[in-house]
Each structure stands twice: as structure tokens, then as C-alpha cells.
Amino acid sequence: MSKQDGRGRAVTLEPVDDPAAHILHMDLDAFFASVELLDHPELRDQPVVIGSRNPRSVVSAANYVARRYGVNSAMPMAVALRRCPKAVVLEPHYDRYTKFSRQVMDICRSLTPLVEPLSIDEAFLDVAGARRLLGTPYEIANELRRRVFSETGLTCSVGVAATKFVAKLASGRSKPDGMLVVPLAETQSFLFPLPITALWGVGEKSAEKLRRMGLNTVGDLASTPLPTLQGWIGDASGAKLHELAWGRDPRVVVTEHHEKSVGHEHTFGVDVTDPEAIRRELLRLSGQVAVRLRHAGLAGRTVALKLRFGDFTTITRSKTIAEPTATGRRIYEEVRELYDAVSQPGQRIRLIGVRVEQVREGDGGAAGLWDDDEDWREAEQTLDALEARFGRGTVRPAALLRSDVEKRHADT
């Protein structure tokens, strides 16, 4: 049985045994902040923000108390402190985060060899083969949470379901420090009341399109006949989204990861202060990274930005997206968002870099459950074919063509 509290948090209170629900999603709660609070237990009930008070700094993480004030990661520190003036700012210690992450992943692997880390603080586990030794998925999830806390002092939330997609949603609903089991037979009753944005890859832009069609909840979309949905949003996107709305997700836990990254950097001849010039360079670099990914048959889930300022101070910021991508436009939109979060008027930029990490085989399209990038992907694949036939640089984004014209005018 699960119970929902006033904050919308849902947790499973009594043992549940559904052999079909054997996928776990483990997510450490407010990971960076929680690690820092191990050394500062007196601050647990206060708003804590991880970062630097430097004017250029952004929030690396925030505990749940600070989040109630609207403070989120990647937010400029100045904005965070305006929203929460009493926040305690602690410097990050990334070496400690890596150490604790490895420790938690080792705990996961001691319960099942089928562990797929998604990032430094979350992972999928398939515990179907562990029943004989360790009990039901419910019992294994409880043991995982118990051991993480007893061995590290950290808390985690765990979702248990028949698919990756539903397990991840369940862990999010049980945060912080909770567990939610969604038996296979209850998948639809769990999914249908959720807002349309609960579907992976459906952001506000996509959600607005769907709301205009009268689709506000997952159930609304699930009840829409597939041909009608495909007529609205296309055959591929309609089919993927329809499957997801019914809780169907064929992906399995993948343990073998060949960790790679693909990136490009550019050092300016003179420091650049114009944000539009920086964004154009981000567009160019994103396109180059995407071409390399596609040529290698790869796609990646983490997009990273590197900035080196005029005083040689260097920062990196990254974001993990729902599905792997090899589309230049998607890479650009994500890295531009990272840049906009840290940019300050008058900043002198010496070097800029774009990198895609957590790279694996795939075209960045087949696994997508809602594909905002379908048109861009087809356009970029057409560009690949044109370049293969007529040479590199034959066709370019209009923004980069304008940039070239501006440079030629500046030189004359």
C-alpha cells in the first residue's frame, strides 16, 4: 500500500511482492548538499547552497530546505541569495562526491551485478536474479536504502517497477528518503493522473503543443487513438509517446558502458564580451560535435560547457538529458541554457568548449520516447549527405552564415 502526503510525496508502507516489478531506480537525495552536511550536521534544518559567493558563481546544488525558496542548481548565486538571503553557502568538494558515489555504486553491485549508473548519484538495478538470495524487489530496495544510510550516512529514494521509465518516476515521487513500488498491474493507475510533463522528453514547449490538443495528463494521451495522435505529431513521435503513456518501455538495464566523450573547443584571438558572438560559437561547436557523433554511430546523454575567462579562470557546467542525442540543435539548446545561466554583463571570454559525455552506440533517435528533435535530426542527416557529396561546409546554419558576412564586412 502506498500513501501520499501533503507535498505529493508517495511512499510504499507495506510489503509488496510482484515478480514483474524487478527494476529499481536509486537516486541519492540532494547528493552534493547531503555530502557536505555530513561535516555540518548543525545545518541540516537550514537552507544550504553549494557553490561560491563569487559573483560569477552558480549553484552546484541545494538542500531541500533551500529548494522551498525556489533555489535550484545552475541558478546564478546572486539570484539564489536574493531568493533566500539566509542561505548558508558551502564550497563544493568534488573529490568527496566521487568517493561517495563509488561507495554507493559498490553497494548496488553487491546486491545484483545488473547495475547501470546514469550519473554520479543515480542508477538502475535489475534484481530479478537476486530473489532467491535476497528476497522480493521490495525487500531488496529496503536493504539498499538501509545499507546506503548505514555505510555512508546518506539517504536515497528508490522506485520499483516493471520498466525503467516507471521506476524512475516512482523514485522521484518518493523523494526525499522514500521508496515507492508500482506493481505491473497498477502501472496505468499510477501514470494516468500525472501531468503530461511527466513523460520523458516532454518539456514545457512540447507540453504546450499537447495541451493545445486537449492533452493535459498522461491518461489523456493514452486514451487518444494512436492514428489520431500520429496525425497530430507524426508517426514515430506518436507511436513512441503512446507506448510511454501506457507504461511500455522495452529498454533493459545495460551494465557495459564504454565511457567516451566527444568535444570541441575554440580559443578566441581576443577576448569576447558579446553574448551573441558566444552563442554563435556554441552553435558552431555543437554542430561539429554532433557530426562527429553521427559519423561514429554514437549518441550521448550529458552535455557540458567549458568557459575560460580573460583572467584564465575556467569553469565547466553540465546537464544530463532524458535520452541520448546526436543532434546538433539539441546539444546547442542545452549548452546555451548552461551558458545563459552563468553569463554576466561584460564577461571577457577567452575560450569556449562544448562536450557530450556518457556516449554510447546509437543514433540518438531510436530510443526517444518524445522526439522534439525529429525534424532537426532529419535536416542534419540531410546535411551530412550533402557534405559527403559536395564537401564540408557546403551548407551551414543561417546564423553562422550571417556571422561570416559580418566578419567580412569588419575586415573591409
Q: Which residues are annotated as a binding site?
A: 27, 121
Which of the residues 36, 91, 116, 122 is marked catalytic?
122
Q: List the one residue out of 41, 45, 76, 47 whose CA is nearest residue 59.
A: 76
Using alpha carbons, list the distances in angstroms from residue 3 to 7, 13, 19, 288, 386: 11, 7, 22, 49, 57
CA–CA dist 208, 196 (Å, integer): 10
CA–CA dist 113, 130 (Å, integer): 9
CA–CA dist 236, 230 (Å, integer): 8
Q: Can you read off the three cell numbers belonging to residue 189?
A: 493507475
Strands (E), 292-370: 298-309, 314-325, 349-361
Residue 193: cis peptide before it, omega within 30 degrees of 0 = no
Q: Is 93 helix (H, G, I), strand (E, B) or coil?
A: coil
Q: Decide if 122 is catalytic.
A: yes
Q: Which residue has the cell 556554441?
A: 282
Report the half-sphere exposure of 109 (CA within 13 A, side-chain side): 9
Bind-site residues for Mg(2+): 27, 121
Identify whether the C-beta of residue 80 lies closer than 8 Å to the C-beta of residue 90.
no
Catalytic positions are: 122
